[in-house]
Amino acid sequence: MTESFLHYVWQHQLLSGGLTTTDGQPVVVLRAGDLNHDAGPDFFNARLRIGEMEWAGNIEVHVRTSDWKLHRHTQDAAYNNIILHVVYEHDCDIVLQNGEAPLTLELKPWLHPSLIANYDSLMAPTTGSDIPCRHRLGDVPSFVVNSNLERLVVERIEAKSETVRRMLGESHGGWEDTCYWLMARYFGGKVNALAFELLAKATDQRLLARWKDNPQRTEALLMGQAGLLDGFFADDYPRQLQADYVALKTGAGLKPMDGYLWKFHRLRPSNFPTIRISQFARLVSESSNLFSTLLELTDVKQIERLFNQQAADYWKNHYQFDRVAAKSMVKRVGRMQADLLIINAWVPLLFVYGCEHGSQAHKDQAVGLLSQLPPEDNAIIRVWRQAGIEPTNAAESQALLHLYNNYCQNRRCLDCRIGFHILKRV
Ligand code: SF4
């Protein structure tokens, strides 16, 4: 038995039968009160009828009555005016600071055994990556699952908005800079995210805009700033990029990054930073005001097309400068990667834009974009599929990832609508 479970039981009044205090007075709960997450009594502003009297005030909840002494409430004036002490087990008598005994309600007789069994089943250890309520999910109506997912997808986007807000602060509210930095960061994937962000910050997009529609010069500037054009090259293409960069660098007083920041190890060659930088150069070359361009696009297919850029022809048979690949192929961002850019970068940015401008329409558009994308397929989504929950789009898969990582893994079943439904089944 835990206090947080008792808070939950009291808050939702998951009690059976007519309640009575330990001295036999009937208790009618008119208002359970507001759960207090700070210091002081557990519930504020409760309203009760105890016997013939109506009471309004605060309630303290404990597993055992003796916890009152353990928590030193007798010495604390904040507890002088509680109207009821709610305990799971009444194991001793206590007094308030003024010497009076508080009215006490023992919950143990009023808790249905199924409620405790349901709670225990949710808190029981699981094996591997299993979902604690997996065997109970079949009893949960789809509208409960769906309403939970609708709430959680917004929570997921809000959690992802942290990076957007950080960049928005760094750019002093510059939406174009934030968009450019953010897209760069996600072009880098997990491994080169930071290096890509540093590259974008070291390469002012206003400078890139000067070579709009000249993707090779844009690539020269980005490759050079990335520190990847140092040294001697045998192939014409890197030599040309190098020459372009030297000319641009001198004019603009640029300082390149250290090339060692880029990681190639354990990456699939198509994700090498050389390929990604070339594709990113095509994106910024095609649209120098990326944020404004994206705001205009409401159809997810148009955004996918914009993101699905192709690396320069040289990269058809190279993954690194001067190294010929065994197989020649066009290096496009690809639809899956383009969708990840929408999910991780554009949707949170659009959502924050909606928040900052008080525009529900933009926030809805952000969630709507996710609904137009196919669900992701990864280890966590497969766990949900095995449990019988099949996401039909990326909004649902994003919500399921958030549910698993933030609720199921931390056993926050008391904060979950599915958990509420399972608990109250008797
Ligand atoms: S948090 Fe919700 S979905 Fe996850 S195990 Fe608990 S009740 Fe089930």
Confidence class for position 210, pLDDT limits 50, 70, 90: confident
- Under the banding of pLDDT at 50, 70 and 90, the label for residue 213 is confident
Entry field: residues in the chain? 426
Inform me whether the pLDDT recorded for 288 exceeds 80.
no
Q: How many CB atoms lie within 10 A of CB 425?
A: 12
- The alpha carbon torsion through 7, 13, 18, 19 (nearest 10 deg) reads 20
- Highest mean predicted confidence (pLDDT) among 15-29, 171-185, 208-222: 171-185
Ligand 1 contact, 132 CB (< 6 A): yes
Q: Looking at this protein, which amino acid is placed at residue 182?
A: L
DSSP-derived letter for residue 13 is: T
Cα angle value 50/33/61 (rounded, 5°): 75
What pLDDT shows up at residue 336?
Answer: 93
Whole-angstrom distance, CA of residue 117 vs CA of residue 423: 9
Ordered by start, the domain boundaries in the chain are: 3-111, 171-333
CA distances 407 to 148, 155, 399, Å, are 12, 12, 11
Task: Answer yes or no: is the C-beta of 414 below 6 A from any ligand 1 atom.
Answer: no
Ligand 1 centre to CA of 60 (Å) is: 27
**In this structure, how many other beta carbons lie within 10 angstroms of the beta carbon of residue 141?**
9
- Whether 413 lines ligand 1, by a CB cut-off of 6 Å, is yes
Categorize the per-residue pLDDT at 1 as very low, low, confident or very high, splitting at 50, 70 and 90.
confident
**Rounded to whole angstroms, how far apart are CA atoms 157 and 346?**
10
Confidence band of 238 (pLDDT split at 50, 70, 90): very high
Q: Give the 3-state DSSP-derived string for 84-132, with helices as H, strands as E and coil as C.
A: EEEEEECCCCCCCCCCCCCCEEECHHHCCHHHHHHHHHHHCCCCCCCCC
The two beta strands, 26-31 and 19-20, are antiparallel
Of residues 382, 317, 18, 355, the one with CA closest to residue 157:
355
Q: Cβ(252)–Cβ(186) under 8 Å?
A: no
Q: pLDDT (tens digit, 9 = 90+) per residue, 116-148?
A: 999 998 988 888 888 999 988 988 999 999 999
Q: What is the Cα–Cα distance from 225 to 204, expressed in whole angstroms?
A: 11
Pocket lining: 135 vs ligand 1, CB cutoff 6 Å: no
pLDDT tens digits for 143-189?
A: 999 999 999 999 999 999 999 999 999 999 999 999 999 999 999 99
Q: Is 140 in the pocket of ligand 1 (CB under 6 A)?
A: no
Answer whether residue 425 shows pLDDT above 80: no
Report whether residue 369 contacts ligand 1, using a CB cutoff of 6 Å.
no
End-to-end CA separation in angstroms for the chain: 18
318-320 and 323-324 strand pairing: antiparallel
| C-alpha of residue 7 to centroid of ligand 1, in Å | 18
What DSSP letter does each residue of 166-235 carry, written as one string? HHHHHTTS-HHHHHHHHHHHHHTTTTTHHHHHHHHHHS-HHHHHTTTT-HHHHHHHHHHHTT-S-S---S
What is the Cα–Cα distance from 400 to 13, expressed in whole angstroms? 28
C-alpha dist (Å) from residue 100 to 96, 117, 225: 5, 36, 75
Q: Please count the other Cβ atoms lying within 10 Å of the Cβ belonging to residue 21.
A: 19
Give the nearest ligand 1 atom to 419 CA. 7
Residue nearest to atom 6 of ligand 1 (CA): 413
Amino acid 296: pLDDT: 94
What pLDDT does residue 92 have?
92
Q: What is the pLDDT of residues 340-356, one digit of tens each?
A: 999 999 999 999 999 99
Spatial contact of 248 and 254, defined as CB atoms under 8 Å apart: yes
- Identify the weakest region by mean pLDDT among 209-213, 245-249, 309-313, 370-374: 209-213
Helices 273-286, 215-225: inter-axial angle, 10-degree rounding: 130
For residue 348, which phi and psi values (nearest 5 degrees)?
Answer: -60, -35
Least confident range from 30-39, 56-65, 208-217, 326-335: namely 208-217
What phi, psi does 115 have (nearest 5°)?
-65, -45
Round to whole Å and give the CA distance between 325 and 318.
Answer: 5
Q: Which of 133, 400, 414, 423 to mutate to test the pocket of ligand 1 (most atoms within 8 A of CB)?
A: 133
Mean pLDDT of 256-280: 94
Please calculate the CA angle 171-175-177 and round it to the nearest 5 degrees.
Answer: 55
Q: What is the mean pLDDT of residues 287-309?
A: 93
pLDDT digits (tens, 9 = 90+) for 390-403: 999 999 999 999 99
Nearest-CA residue for atom 4 of ligand 1: 408
